[in-house]
Amino acid sequence: MLRWVRQQLGFDPPHQSDTRTIYIANRFPQHGHYVPQKFADNRIISSKYTVWNFVPKNLFEQFRRVANFYFLIIFLVQLMIDTPTSPITSGLPLFFVITVTAIKQGYEDWLRHKADNEVNGAPVYVVRSGGLVKTRSKNIRVGDIVRVAKDETFPVDLVLLSSDRVDGSCHVTTASLDGETNLKTHVAVPETAVLQSVANLDKLVAVIECQQPEADLYRFVGRITVSQQAEEIVRPLGPESLLLRGARLKNTKEIFGVAVYTGMETKMALNYKSKSQKRSAVEKSMNSFLIIYLIILLFEAILSTILKYAWQAEEKWDEPWYNEKTEHERNSSKILRFISDFLAFLVLYNFIIPISLYVTVEMQKFLGSFFIGWDLDLYHEETNQRAQVNTSDLNEELGQVEYVFTDKTGTLTENEMQFRECSINGIKYQEVNGKLTPEGFSEDSPDGNRHGLVKEEELFLKAVCLCHTVQINADQTDGADGPWHANGITSPLEYYASSPDEKALVEAASRVGVVFTGISGDSMEVKSLGKPERYKLLHVLEFDPNRRRMSVIVESPSGEKLLFTKGAESSILPRSKSGEIDKTRIHVDEFALKGLRTLCVAYRRFTPEEYQEVGKRLQEARTALQQREERLADVFNFIERDLELLGATGVEDKLQEKVQETIEALRLAGIKVWVLTGDKHETAVSVSLSCGHFHRTMNILELVQHKSDSTCAEQLRQLAKRIKEDHVIQHGLVVDGTSLSLALREHEKLFMEVCKNCSAVLCCRMAPLQKAKVVRLLKTSPEKPITLAIGDGANDVSMIQEAHVGIGIMGKEGRQAVRNSDYAIARFKFLSKLLFVHGHFYYIRIATLVQYFFYKNVCFITPQFLYQFFCLFSQQTLYDSVYLTLYNICFTSLPVLIYSLFEQHVHPHVLQSKPVLYRDISKNAHLGFKPFLYWTVLGFFHAFVFFYGSYLLMGEDTSLLGNGQILKPNRQMMFGNWTFGTLVFTVMVITVTMKMALETHFWTWINHFVTWGSIVFYFIFSLFYGGIIWPFLHTQDMYFVFVQLLSSGSAWFAIILIVVACLFIDVVKKVLYRHLQPTSTEKAQLTEAGSGINCLDSMCCFSDGETACTSVRRMLERLMGRCSPTRVNSVCKVTEETCI
């Protein structure tokens, strides 16, 4: 009963078993006791809210924030007890923040709903009642037979039943799932492949048993039982039979498939990853500051409450003649009165906590993230790709990176493979003018002009042409018998491959005379020097990262059963029993030293008895529903043994442009670079040397090929000793995956000590999870450094998600890395501008924004606290409630927001050309305790000057007769309470706005407009607010107060004098520090100013005679850091000479 209730409430999934049974066309058994399984419908839901739960769910999420919840409590306190300020003063700002955030999140969710409805309402065709029925995608049920036409996307996960081809095959592209643009072949089982019409499919009686939904795109385990003439035929189903939702049908007219996973249970939907929430160092600092200010607030409230009761201990102040207590107040509990007064003071001082800080930071991050996408320097013209921001919450973290973890293939290299060399039967060969030439021979040598291929060479090339997953463009397959060259080579075919290595090898084989011409049914066709040969494809032993090899079993034209295998040398050579093993191993090492990617090729001949045993074992393993992967792995290992080695290949992967310069710049910026790759030791070291990761003068230390814990520990101790002895020179460390596992098991601390004393670390033979483990190891070390991981493939996703900042490269290994990253760029070289310019700017901007917010709120509320000493702690407010409400929302909000979007304290080109400037902001330098203490003390200092300056300068002014007049002993009239509060408030608004102006280095017309406009708006609003009797206000305390204040010459003198006095100390401090202890950044600013690039220029300070459109374009270019290249080049040259 309890389980049923949980299912109804949605806590338990409808399916509990490990497998699901699907009756094709929903032909369920007719016996009465059958209970059909419940499956999800085909609706895709990416939205977060519905119409019914938006308000409660959104409010719950927003009030989980400490500041929002705090202000809600304050607002409720104001409603429940008699407090000195109106509930509106807390309620309106809270309502504004909540509303703005809710509108933003609601709009984003509305867009998701719109996209969902478009997908769910797409028209599809299903087979029902003997015909094709048009319906909507959301109406597809598990078991429905769906028809998909050419170039359409699959609306559900389908098991392929038939296609327009006789063999039941089809081609698909999964670019939208993993970014791979190659055509992949999927095949139907023979029993259903012949059912190519709707009428025949409608008669099909079959049952599919498969695993429950899982997110792995490349794994599917199932079997289909087809009933034919009272006979049941069982066939295995694997990934080759499954067509994934989101993939697109190519080069095939139409297919029919049965829906097995629908809606949110499709593999595409299960890969919708809700990223783990990453929090930046700035956000953590902000929360710490909030706690400190909360402590200050509690201290002020408790102190005020205690002083109030200490003051009221004297009878004349306890109940003065003008404020007699009621009978109820005299009889009330002292404890309740104390709590009530404490809460009242808490409400009075609550504005020291800046509620609008959160919404301003969110707006800054959201709007600021667009600048990365707009930056033309991060645009890659060849691929038409621009930088992409997936997470704007981490913009400032780009300015705090201390460690960069990078993949090698496709990240540092182009992932464009070119065949360079090979080893066949112990002899090295090179490709020369489309011919395979042994090393040492040339066309000019007597034996160089060879005709044809020897037996070993031809067998090696046939193995390369048969053992792969390469596809050919369907438009070319019919033309494979086209014109031939003199040497028997066809015109080049267009190959598609998921692996660039395979494509390079098949293309190289075709150039030297053995051409793969395609797959026809279950046969693979090759042409060896113009002679066509057909090999029957019997079995494919798919590649997996554990075996590190793939194999095919084929039947040769002579009827011989052959196994061809290719893979890493570590997985092939130990399994080889014959061939030139030692010579090939030497050649593989030589290839690796040249930086080439290596593969070994081998084969095996089967006797009829051996093949019969192999076929039986494969059939049993592939039809198993439980532990299929483990069984297949055992069978594969049984088959791939006693190999005869044919040779090895060497393929070059070119370095990307400016990789060496980028790595050197990162090093100058104080960032340590670790390369994590799955390549073999020699290849990885060679590439590290060529890309500048390792220097030729660097002492290379190695921790490789350790099999036991004791030897690994001893080697680590020796390495640590060598580093201490040779502490003058730089060290580089090479560690392989096996040794790393041993080192992390019990010697983590020693390993970390060695790594941190090395300038560069290279980890080779790394599994994906090992990459993530290394990142986590550094991330959680005592120093807590900020880490960045960058990669381009699916094997890099784990480390990208683990690092503080994850960056995906838009490469050729799919889009999984890009989809799971925080930022995506097209090339590794763009990393320098992303960190040194964008990261630097974002950090400076938000660091100033956060501390300025706390500063201006200290300035705002401290006079309120000081005023209590002059009003017997009666909780009288110093400011009018409208001023309390609008201070953070209107009067001081825009200048800091615009600053946080546009500020450029140093020119972008200077920042990029001098990476050393990145060190000035490292380790959260601008949000540490000292800067925080400075801004807080400055806020208290300014607040004291505001209050006591106004009091001393205006206390004797008899021209100001505002509300709340009081008599002094000498009968002179002191200006009123509201006039005094308005004067303090006026001085404060001007001072905090001017303080923001002092912090601004890069002035644009927008900065001018909001800075001076905020001050002007305050004056206009105050005149308007105090110059009219508003009928809906209960009191008119401010009527004519502001006009009277501005009519006094002494008030103007006091305003100017106090503002100058406040800012003068700050200016002097800046000047002294800039001249006595300048940072590298400040020196760069001085150099920049001397060379004609002035950060204080507005965006429109260039040549005359330009149109308005030109100035707008130039403004955007200036924001992107792309203006006036001649002036920028000159400053970069000068900076190199003078800037440290």
Catalytic residues: 407
d(CA 789, CA 808): 8
Complete DSSP assignment for 698-731: SEEEEE-S--SHHHHHHHHHHHHHHHHHT-SS-E
In 10 A of CB 280, how many CB atoms?
A: 24
Contact between 405 and 788 (Cβ < 8 Å): yes
Say how far apart CA 990 and CA 891 lie, in whole Å. 10
Q: Which residues face 599 on adjacent strands?
A: 649
- The Cα 148–Cα 252 span in angstroms is 10
For residue 565, what are its two tokens? 């295998």
**What are the strands of the beta sheet with 145-149, ordered from one edge?**
131-136, 123-128, 145-149, 254-261, 157-163, 242-243
Dihedral sign, CA of 743, 744, 746, 752? positive
Structure tokens at 309: 């009761």
Which tokens go with 38? Answer: 């419940």
Q: Which residue has the tokens 């190999």?
A: 643
Nearest CA-CA partner of 636 in 766, 539, 536, 568: 539
Backbone phi, then psi, for 1029, in 5-degree steps? -85, 110
Distance CA(808)–CA(818), nearest Å, equals 4
Q: Where are the beta strands (DSSP E) in 572-663?
A: 576-578, 596-606, 643-655
Return d(Cα 1035, Cα 880) in angstroms, integer. Answer: 11
CA atoms of 746 and 751, how far apart (whole Å) = 10
CB contact set of 857 (below 8 Å; sequence gap of 6+): 293, 351, 352, 353, 354, 888, 939
The 3 state secondary structure assigned to 1031-1055 is CCCCCCCCCCHHHHHHCCHHHHHHH
Strand residues in 364-503 grouped as ranges (E): 388-389, 403-406, 413-424, 427-432, 435-438, 471-472, 495-496
How many residues are listed for the chain in this entry?
1140
Can you say how many angstroms the Cα of residue 160 is from the centroid of all Cα atoms in its chain? 35
Closest CA to 663 of 865, 391, 1022, 412: 412
Nearest to 866 by CA among 803, 940, 766, 957: 940
Identify the CA nearest to 1066 among candidates 992, 1015, 987: 992
H or E stretch including 127?
strand 123-128
**DSSP helix/strand/coil, 761:** strand
| 60 Cβ contact list (under 8 Å, min separation 6) | none
CB 588 within 8 A of CB 570: no
Phi and psi at residue 438, in whole multiples of 5°? Answer: -60, 150
In eight-state DSSP terms, residue 879 is: S
316 CB burial (10 A radius; 0-12, 13-18, 19+)? exposed
SS3 at position 12: coil
Hey, CA dihedral for 399, 403, 405, 406, is it positive or negative? positive
Say if residue 198 is exposed, middle or buried (CB neighbours under 10 Å; 0-12, 13-18, 19+).
middle
Distance CA 649, CA 595 (A): 13
Question: At CA 1132, angle to CA 1127 and CA 1135, rounded to 5?
Answer: 125
